[in-house]
Structure 1
Amino acid sequence: MTSQYATFGLVPATRAGGVLADGAYQAHRDFLDFAVDGSPLLARLADLDAVSPLAFDLGPSDFAEQVRTLLPEAEKPLEGSRRVIYGCPECAGLACGEPVCGGLASVGFACGAVTAVIERDGPDIVWRDFGRQTGRTPDAERDGYHDIGPYRFRGEEYRAALERLLPADGAPAPELPAGPRALLIGPRAALLARLAAALRRIGISAEITLDAVHAHADELRKYGVVVFGRTIGPDERDAVLNALAVARSEAVCVTVLAPIVPLLVAQVEQALDRTPDRRRLQRLTAVAGGAEAEVEVASACRVRLVAHRLDRLSRPRTRALFDAVLAPGTHRIPLETRAVRGRSFLTAHTSEAVLVAPVAR
């Protein structure tokens, strides 16, 4: 077992939601990831779509219970001193029973969790024997992450990072970040209504209004993204932007690109991304007249590429083009001509981020 120390910390992370090419929904989840030696641990599992147990959408008591399960003296929930490190972002269970689950099953396995042994070694805390688990015990040879860990943490540092998330004696529980909210500006027409319904379906609160200018400043500051409908003119847009500035809102403003709901959901997810410097998906562009997509990734991750367009009858068309793990660097991916003809757009998805790019002609 390693005798070298690793540092332990917690960093905000997001599992980006969306509407998939087949019409299925993928939940948006905000959570705390484990930072080992300053780097998010989940990023070392390149093809994994998962969240830690420390998800912000849990109630205060459930969140505190999940924090305690990561302390070695807590009651052990799994055999062999194993604890859940990452779980399915859709069902949060070891085995949800669904034949197609948007989380861990999306990499070719039954829905499950990543677990590890968490134990005390003197004053230290050790994480070891990482593996995928769908039943009572994992198969170490088949499902083990042999290149991950073991990690030895100083007990004082480890406990301090977790215990600051727990309520002190007689004190209220620490306040968790509020969930993402989107303000849609425009008439309550079919497009914005469908977009609001899709955002709520994946866990993003969405409200529609025709008058954001006279909204209270405290209310405006609650929104992470403001979406301008297609009927909003320059004067109305400028008035809203001024109201947001006066309210000192940090909301990102976007304009509807096309009446295609999955594309608009991707726009909202991109606007909600507050950590572009930490994301693995760095850049997406369409090159060579739309014949290729250029994708840049900072570290190995699974990338899904989807094309969106309107056909000659203004009907939305969505097609999945690419789905694979990419190594760090810049990659050129050929595009199907039929999928990007006319006015079209590309979306690139990883488990943590979404990018949107027009296909220039």
Structure 2
Amino acid sequence: MSAEYTSFGLAPATRAGGVLADGGYQVHRDYLDFIVDGRPLLFQLSDLDAVSPLAADVPPAIFVDHVRRLLLEAEAPLADGRYVIYGCPECEALACGAVTAVIERAGDGTDGGDAYVWRDFAWQTEERADLERNGYHGIGPFRFRAQEYRNALRRVLRAEDASGAPAARRRVLLVGARAAVLAKLAAALRIIGIGAETLPADGTLDIPPEELRTYGAVAFGRGVTDGQRAAIRGEFERAGIAVEYVDGLAPIVPLLVAQIEQALGEGQLARHRLAGLDVVDGEADVQVASTCRVRLTAYRLDRLHRGRAHAVYEGILEPGSHRIALDPRAVRGRAFLVARAPGAVLVSAVP
């Protein structure tokens, strides 16, 4: 094994939830990702929709247990000294599949001779991993300086570094004139793990500052006047609270959910696999930061103002810019495009 050290850190990450074109849901998860040699480790695992065990919505005791396991202060949960590095974002069942690795202490007599090593990465669905069939042979082993490794994980337990914890403001205020749309949107957001409250377009914002701080975004419907938008913005500004503001593109619930997901993840764009989305000359221009599976869905309003959804594309894309032709029937009239990848969602209007 190489004695070369690799840097270790933790950074907030998001697995974007959403309402899918087929009516299904995927749950939103906030978690801490492992930053190995300055880059999210998950980016090295192509086409994987997964989260680390350091998730914001697990009970405190379980969160602490996961950290202590990574510090080797608790027994390995799997056979052969293997630990879960990434697991299913919807549940904790091993049957869904998980990325696991052996974690051990090592020393070579240099630089204090103290290190944590992650090795033998594998995709595991049963009690024991089959390294020959399911091993990630191109990943690791990683050798982390013990002090750096312990400091990063113990900082999470002490909660001393606010920038190193998953985002906590996963609530959105929905303001609009159509009560039925607001109710459906709020229900969809709650299902995927985002808190949502509604306010009529002609209502008054009467929320104390301490509660305003729990919001990460405010979404405005098209029926909200400029005056009310300014009044609501003023309430947040006077309280010294920075939030993302979303202007709803159309009364299509899955589209609005995607817009809100994008807004809540704006501060983490540098760690997203999707780097950009645009529509040019009848083609989707998708910019990808690391190899991943991308799903494109077109939404439009028909002549009766009903929402329509069309699956446009799904496949694995390599890093770079990709042009994907759009079926004119899927984007005729007033249309919008949503791109989803593990941990990211982007929305673009179709010219």
TM-score range, shorter chain: over 0.9
What do the CA deviations read for 1:152-202 (whole angstroms, capped 9, x no partner)?
Answer: 01112212211222359xxxxx98752500001135711010000000000
What do the CA deviations read for 1:91-148 (whole angstroms, capped 9, x no partner)?
Answer: 12201xxxxxxxxxxxxxxx21100000111321110010110001122122111111
Q: 1:278 to 1:176 in 2, by over 3 A?
A: closer
> 1 or 2, which has the higher helix percentage?
2
Correspondence 1:202 to 2:195: no
Q: Distance in 2 between matches of 1:152 and 1:176?
A: 25
Which AA in structure 2 matches 1:43? Answer: F
Which AA in structure 2 matches 1:159? Answer: R
1:106 paired residue number: none
Q: Distance in 2 between matches of 1:7 and 1:175?
A: 19
CA contact (8 A) 2:118 2:140 kept: yes
CA contact (8 A) 1:57 1:179 kept: no
1:41 paired residue number: 41
Bigger Cα displacement from structure 2, 156-165 vs 80-89: 156-165
Following TM superposition, by how much is the alpha carbon of 1:352 offset from its aligned partner in structure 2, in angstroms? 1.3
Q: Which SS does the other structure have where 1:54 is aligned?
A: coil
1:229 paired residue number: 221
Identity of aligned residues (%): 58
Of 238, 241, 244, which residue of structure 2 is paired with 1:249? 241
Q: 1:163 to 1:305 in 2, by over 3 A?
A: same
Following TM superposition, by how much is the alpha carbon of 1:279 offset from its aligned partner in structure 2, in angstroms? 1.8
Task: Give 1:105-254 correspondences, 5 Å limit.
Answer: 111-122=96-107, 123-166=114-157, 177-187=167-177, 189-210=179-200, 211=203, 213-254=205-246
CA contact (8 A) 1:224 1:252 kept: yes
Q: Distance in 2 between matches of 1:33 and 1:129?
A: 19
Task: Give 1:334-349 correspondences, 5 Å limit.
Answer: 334-349=325-340
Q: Distance in 1 between matches of 2:199 and 2:186?
A: 11
Q: Distance in 2 between matches of 1:83 and 1:50?
A: 15
Which AA in structure 1 matches 2:316? Answer: V
2:341 paired residue number: 350
2:276 paired residue number: 283
CA contact (8 A) 2:312 2:326 kept: yes
CA-based RMSD: 1.7
Q: Distance in 2 between matches of 1:261 and 1:337?
A: 22
Q: Which SS does the other structure have where 1:207 is aligned?
A: strand
Q: 1:277 to 1:258 in 2, by over 3 A?
A: same
Q: Distance in 1 between matches of 2:99 and 2:169?
A: 25
Q: Distance in 1 between matches of 2:204 and 2:176?
A: 10
Q: Distance in 2 between matches of 1:186 and 1:292?
A: 32
2:78 paired residue number: 78
CA contact (8 A) 1:126 1:153 kept: yes
TM-score, structure 1 normalization? 0.90
Structure 2, unaligned runs of 5 or more: 108-113
What do the CA deviations read for 1:19-65 (whole angstroms, capped 9, x no partner)?
Answer: 11111100000000111111111111121110000000011111101
Q: Distance in 2 between matches of 1:212 and 1:252?
A: 19
1:271 paired residue number: 263
Structure 1, unaligned runs of 5 or more: 96-110, 169-173
Following TM superposition, by how much is the alpha carbon of 1:221 offset from its aligned partner in structure 2, in angstroms? 2.2
TM-score, structure 2 normalization? 0.92
> How many residues end up aligned between the 2 structures?
338
Bigger Cα displacement from structure 2, 9-18 vs 184-193: 184-193
Which AA in structure 2 matches 1:90? Answer: E
